[in-house]
């Protein structure tokens, strides 16, 4: 049976990153985790209980928090600026530790934690991010008003999936960044954006059904853009809900084939009706469902990771495989060239080709597992310790940044 860990958050910087102070962000990141007790009074922590001090003057990677919570020994995690970002101790030493921290409000805490072994980020065991399909180096970054624009940029970039379609990867990031800023400024929640996406998805389908392809494409593209924004908004503000998650993922699965069906019906009211519509729609559904089944079977039977992060080739395939955005490009091409029927034919053909490729990768994965015993994602070959210095130089040379500023603590 797991025992609870008491969390005490110290630090008094009020700079907000995506609308949240460091303290507020840590509280949101921790509230959904099990066996966690947030406390503001170290005197109430039982003797011998596991305690984790977190410095709210730093921006924490969620993976770093997970690694710290999984530790059992006393440990002090130091930043590159020689400042303790997190301290793992117990209830017996918690009060004395807090007094020492508050009596030494300079940047350097050398003589505070002499009895606690110190580690750096390189000592943490950080795996790749399955949900985001990437493996960025973990981070703990100092928060200040001077650093705020850079930290917001990096937090937003970190919320992006590493393996996704070409539109989401290369077209949406800049407008999505400013749209997310607007949502934070206006107090919009991720669910508000998701609700608007649902409305646009329905309206786009209705427009396709009645042959208003241009209007439908406009609403469809806006819907796909908002589908990017709501996820980024949720991650940078650490805001999520069960309803929003169900709506977002459910909408992604259900609406694409219905759009293609509506497009086919809409062709009957135009000058370019398509023959054999029923057969085409069956082929499209076979391709759509078949592709989804291949992805599910790969992760359920062959590996604990997504099919598209097995080999680098699979990650490239994700850029163009038959998903919503690449298919919208094909429909848009058909409409712009005055051949909406040809656009639908391209979508059906691309579904069948893409699914054929996924079936081949599924069979290849099965044979590989039979031969080697297990599959390995190419992301597992990335060494964060090797890449961390490159990454740090990249982000800290984009703009002037003050890494020498003292970061005082607080007893509140």
Residue 79 has pLDDT above 90, yes or no: no
Instruction: Report the pLDDT value the prediction gives residue 402, as an integer from 0 to 100.
Output: 40
Instruction: Report the pLDDT value the prediction gives residue 182, as an integer from 0 to 100.
Output: 96
Going by pLDDT thresholds of 50, 70 and 90, the confidence category of residue 312 is very high
Q: Name beta bridge partners: 59.
A: 141
403: closest CA among 118, 85, 144, 21?
144
Angle at 243 between CA 237 and CA 249, to 5 degrees: 85
Instruction: Report the pLDDT value the prediction gives residue 104, as an integer from 0 to 100.
Output: 57
**Cα 236 → chain centroid:** 9
d(CA 226, CA 242): 18
Going by pLDDT thresholds of 50, 70 and 90, the confidence category of residue 392 is very low
The upper half-sphere exposure of residue 197, i.e. CA atoms within 13 Å in the direction of its Cβ, equals 24
Going by pLDDT thresholds of 50, 70 and 90, the confidence category of residue 124 is confident
Residue 312 sits at φ, ψ, to 5 deg, of -60, -35
- 3 state SS of 133: coil
Instruction: Report the pLDDT value the prediction gives residue 114, as an integer from 0 to 100.
Output: 67
Give percent of the chain with pLDDT exceeding 90. Answer: 62
Instruction: Report the pLDDT value the prediction gives residue 82, as an integer from 0 to 100.
Output: 82
d(CA 177, CA 293): 33
Which of 9-18, 122-131, 142-151, 258-267 shows the lowest mean pLDDT across its residues?
Answer: 122-131
Query: Helices in 88-189 by DSSP H: which ranges?
Result: 91-102, 148-158, 166-170, 173-186
Residue 292 has pLDDT above 80, yes or no: yes
Residues 174-224: pLDDT tens digits?
999 999 999 999 999 999 999 999 999 999 999 999 999 999 999 999 999
Residues 226-269: pLDDT tens digits?
999 999 999 999 997 777 777 777 888 999 999 999 999 999 87
Instruction: Report the pLDDT value the prediction gives residue 47, as an integer from 0 to 100.
Output: 86
- 3 state SS of 168: helix
146: closest CA among 55, 13, 236?
13
Residue 348 has pLDDT above 90, yes or no: yes
Determine the straight-line distance between the first and last CA of the chain, rounded to whole angstroms. 32
Residue 66 has pLDDT above 80, yes or no: yes
Handedness of CA 324, 328, 334, 335 (dihedral sign): positive
Which of 137-141, 228-232, 369-373 shows the lowest mean pLDDT across its residues?
Answer: 137-141
Residues 146-183: pLDDT tens digits?
999 999 998 999 888 888 999 999 999 999 999 999 99
Angle at 83 between CA 79 and CA 88, to 5 degrees: 80
d(CA 396, CA 389): 10
261: closest CA among 206, 222, 334?
206
Residues 272-282: pLDDT tens digits?
677 788 899 99
Residue 338 has pLDDT above 50, yes or no: yes
The answer to whether the CB of 242 falls within 8 A of the CB of 300 is no
The answer to whether the CB of 90 falls within 8 A of the CB of 48 is yes
Going by pLDDT thresholds of 50, 70 and 90, the confidence category of residue 324 is very high
């Amino acid at each position: 049976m797991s025992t609870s860990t008491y969390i005490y958050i110290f630090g008094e910087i009020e700079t907000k990153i995506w609308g949240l102070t460091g303290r507020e962000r840590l509280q949101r990141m921790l509230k959904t985790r099990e066996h966690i007790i947030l406390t503001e009074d170290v005197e109430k922590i039982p003797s011998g209980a596991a305690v984790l001090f977190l410095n709210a003057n730093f921006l924490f990677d969620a993976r770093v928090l997970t690694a710290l919570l999984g530790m059992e020994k006393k440990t002090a995690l130091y930043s590159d600026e020689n400042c303790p970002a997190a301290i793992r101790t117990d209830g017996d030493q918690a009060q004395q530790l807090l007094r020492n921290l508050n009596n030494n409000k300079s940047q350097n805490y050398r003589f505070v934690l002499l009895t606690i072994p110190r580690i750096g980020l390189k000592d943490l065991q950080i795996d790749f991010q399955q949900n985001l399909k990437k493996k960025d180096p973990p981070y703990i970054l100092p928060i200040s008003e001077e650093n705020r624009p850079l930290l917001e940029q990096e937090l937003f970039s970190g919320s992006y999936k590493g393996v996704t379609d070409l539109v989401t990867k290369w077209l949406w990031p800049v407008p999505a960044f400013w749209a997310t800023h607007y949502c934070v400024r206006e107090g919009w929640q991720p669910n508000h954006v998701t609700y608007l996406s649902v409305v646009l998805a329905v309206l786009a389908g209705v427009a396709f059904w009645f042959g208003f392809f241009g209007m439908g494409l406009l609403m469809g593209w806006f819907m796909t853009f908002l589908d990017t924004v709501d996820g980024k908004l949720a991650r940078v503000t650490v805001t999520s809900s069960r309803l929003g998650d169900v709506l977002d993922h459910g909408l992604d699965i259900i609406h694409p084939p219905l759009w293609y069906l509506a497009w086919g019906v809409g062709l009957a009211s135009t000058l370019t009706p398509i023959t054999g519509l029923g057969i085409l729609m069956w082929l499209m559904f076979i391709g759509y469902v078949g592709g989804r089944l291949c992805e599910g079977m790969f992760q359920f039977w062959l590996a604990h990771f997504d099919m598209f992060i097995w080999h680098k080739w699979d990650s490239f395939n994700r850029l163009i495989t038959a998903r919503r955005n690449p298919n919208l490009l094909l429909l848009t091409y058909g409409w712009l060239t005055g051949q909406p029927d040809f656009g639908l034919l391209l979508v059906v053909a691309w579904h069948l080709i893409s699914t054929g490729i996924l079936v081949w990768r599924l069979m290849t994965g099965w044979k590989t597992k039979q031969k080697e015993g297990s599959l390995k994602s190419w992301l597992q070959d990335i060494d964060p310790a090797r890449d961390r210095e490159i990454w740090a130089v990249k982000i800290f040379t984009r703009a002037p940044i003050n890494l020498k500023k003292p970061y005082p603590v607080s007893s509140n």
